[in-house]
Amino acid sequence: MKLLTHNMLTSHVKGVINGYPLLIKATEVKVNEVEFNPQFVSRMIPKLEWSALIQAAEGLGHLQDLPGTPIENYENDAEFLRKVHRVLLEVEVIEGSLQCPESGREFPISKGVPNMLLNEDES
Amino acid sequence: MSSSCRRPEHKAPPEVFYNEEEAKKYSQNSRIIEIQTQMSERAVELLNLPEDKPCYLLDVGCGSGLSGDYLSEEGHYWVGLDISTAMLDVAMDREVEGDLVLGDMGQGVPFRSGTFDGCISISALQWLCNADKKSHIPPKRLYTFFSSLYSSLQRGARAVFQIYPEDSKQLELITSQAMKAGFTGGMVVDYPNSTKAKKFFLCLFAGESGVLPKGLGSETSSRNVPNQVQFTGQRSRFKNMKGKSVKKSKDWIMEKKERRRRQGKYVSMFICLV
């Protein structure tokens, strides 16, 4: 599970009002090399919940020097975009779980795939 | 050939049907691969994404990642959702570039609002029309799926579903729930005259009405077989599977008036609402 996906994932359990952001509990993390596309990163930045991204990256020990808010004029700052690219697309949670901030319910992550299947009483 | 062979969704739930043996076909059978890839190409075409812009897309029922591979080829980034661990394992072996999520689309897509620039789904939606468990209520599952999908899409985004509809009743079920969830759009039918080549694509618009694309093979189709069925607003006006309007429906009346106009007969402009 990449951090870009994590930034968009939310609990969809019936009755849960605030199922975002899911807390990452990782036991295995991998860093891959992914081709850098500055246009894509730039387009995604306005869609991100930046604080959730920082929190997630920090929790995995991969925050490095990513700032607390996106810098001004980020579209033209390749260095900044590269940092965002790394955190969004290159850091991957392989094993662990995602915990709902409201209910505490955990969604396991196995082989990089989060299991979002709900029980019968949850949907 | 028994009907269940042609309709796998009558045999077993998807997470059971798509076991390791079935999943293997999707990485080895060249015919399956070719067909799935072609349908993915057409679905992306119907998505009408902005040119030369890398987009963030959802692939519902992504399976082994055949459609996702095509998305990656086009320079897009994607998240795949599927209910079968065997199929997702194949996708991982094939090292697809998209991120994979194990989930049941009938339980809703677990993404926050405005996440995706578009959504495609190849041969998956019909699985929602059957109750695989005692607790399943197909219309409710369809609505849960469509409403969560609607919110996960950006305003103006599209969702394109390649489906194998069983009959017009099933089509009606699907489209009524999609409209209830807020979507507009309609069915695009490619090669309506060829039983072999005929393909159905449900084209949905989220938040903004669009112009429904034309189906392929329309140049050679006869006037009576439409390759588009547009639906807007609250009522779905459906043509039956042969392509003729249901008798006495508004469409039937309009078509009759048009026929008579062409024949030079005087037609009053009064329209009966059926």
**Model confidence over B112-157: pLDDT tens digits?**
999 999 999 999 998 898 877 777 899 999 999 999 999 999 999 9
How many structural domains does chain B have?
1
pLDDT digits (tens, 9 = 90+) for B35-85: 889 999 999 999 999 989 999 999 999 999 999 999 999 999 999 999 999
For residues B233 and B39, give the distance between their C-alpha atoms in angstroms, rounded to a whole number. 28
- Asked if pLDDT for residue B213 goes beyond 60, the answer is yes
Residue B257 covered by a domain: no
In this prediction, residues B97-105 reach a mean pLDDT of 97
**Mutate: best of B99, B104, B117, B147, partner A, most A CBs <10 A:** B99
**A70: closest CA of chain B, how far (Å):** 19
Average pLDDT over chain A, rounded to whole?
96
Question: What does the pLDDT read at residue B197?
Answer: 87
Question: What does the pLDDT read at residue B260?
Answer: 61
Residue B130 covered by a domain: yes
Q: Which of B53, B110, B144 sits opposite A9 (nearest CB)?
A: B110
pLDDT digits (tens, 9 = 90+) for B145-198: 999 999 999 999 999 999 988 888 999 999 999 999 999 999 999 999 998 889
pLDDT digits (tens, 9 = 90+) for A104-115: 999 999 999 999
Q: Is A117 on the interface with B (CB under 8 A)?
A: yes
- Asked if pLDDT for residue B247 goes beyond 80, the answer is no
Question: What does the pLDDT read at residue B31?
Answer: 87
Residue B239 covered by a domain: no
Torsion of CA B159, A2, A5, B137, to 10 degrees: 70
**A8–B111 C-beta distance less than 8 A:** yes
For residues B271 and B274, give the distance between their C-alpha atoms in angstroms, rounded to a whole number. 9
Question: What does the pLDDT read at residue B226?
Answer: 47
Residue B2 covered by a domain: no
**A43–B99 C-beta distance less than 8 A:** no
Chain B residues with CB under 8 Å of A111 CB are: 89, 92
Chain A residues with CB under 8 Å of B106 CB are: 123
B100: nearest CA partner in chain A: A113
Question: What does the pLDDT read at residue B240?
Answer: 39
The domain that holds B52 is classified in CATH as: 3.40.50.150
Residue B62 covered by a domain: yes
Chain A residues with CB under 8 Å of B56 CB are: 40, 43-44, 47
Question: What does the pLDDT read at residue B82?
Answer: 97
Q: Which of B100, B103, B111 sits opposite A10 (nearest CB)?
A: B111
- Asked if pLDDT for residue A12 goes beyond 60, the answer is yes
Assign B4 a pLDDT band (cuts: 50, 70, 90). very low
**Mutate: best of A5, A16, A32, A34, partner B, most B CBs <10 A:** A5
Name residue B117's amino acid: D
Kindly provide the ipTM of the predicted complex, given to two decimals: 0.96
Domains within chain A, CATH numbers bracketed: 3-114 (2.20.25.10)
**B112–A20 C-beta distance less than 8 A:** yes
Residue B68 covered by a domain: yes
pLDDT above 90 covers what percent of chain A? 96
Chain B residues with CB under 8 Å of A12 CB are: 107-110, 148
**Mutate: best of B53, B111, B147, partner A, most A CBs <10 A:** B111
Question: What does the pLDDT read at residue B223?
Answer: 41
**A12–B148 C-beta distance less than 8 A:** yes
Give B231's strand partners: B185
**Mutate: best of A116, A118, A122, partner B, most B CBs <10 A:** A116
Question: What does the pLDDT read at residue B106?
Answer: 96
A2: nearest CA partner in chain B: B99
B76: nearest CA partner in chain A: A40
The angle that helices B66-73 and B30-47 make with each other, rounded to 10 degrees, is 50
Residue B105 covered by a domain: yes
The range of the structural domain enclosing residue B83 comes to: 8-206
Question: What does the pLDDT read at residue B274?
Answer: 33
**A32: closest CA of chain B, how far (Å):** 11
Residue B134 covered by a domain: yes
In this prediction, residues A7-16 reach a mean pLDDT of 96
Chain B residues with CB under 8 Å of A53 CB are: none
**Mutate: best of A2, A10, A17, partner B, most B CBs <10 A:** A10
In this prediction, residues A21-45 reach a mean pLDDT of 96
> How far is the CA of A20 from the CAs of A121, B14, B200, in angstroms?
20, 29, 36
- Asked if pLDDT for residue A25 goes beyond 70, the answer is yes
Q: Which of A10, A43, A117 sits opposite B104 (nearest CB)?
A: A117
SS3 of A41, please? helix
- Asked if pLDDT for residue B268 goes beyond 80, the answer is no
**A26: closest CA of chain B, how far (Å):** 16
pTM: 0.84
Assign B228 a pLDDT band (cuts: 50, 70, 90). low
- Asked if pLDDT for residue B239 goes beyond 50, the answer is no
Chain B residues with CB under 8 Å of A114 CB are: 101-102
Assign B271 a pLDDT band (cuts: 50, 70, 90). very low
B54: nearest CA partner in chain A: A40
Assign B234 a pLDDT band (cuts: 50, 70, 90). very low
CB atoms near residue A83 (< 10 Å)? 19
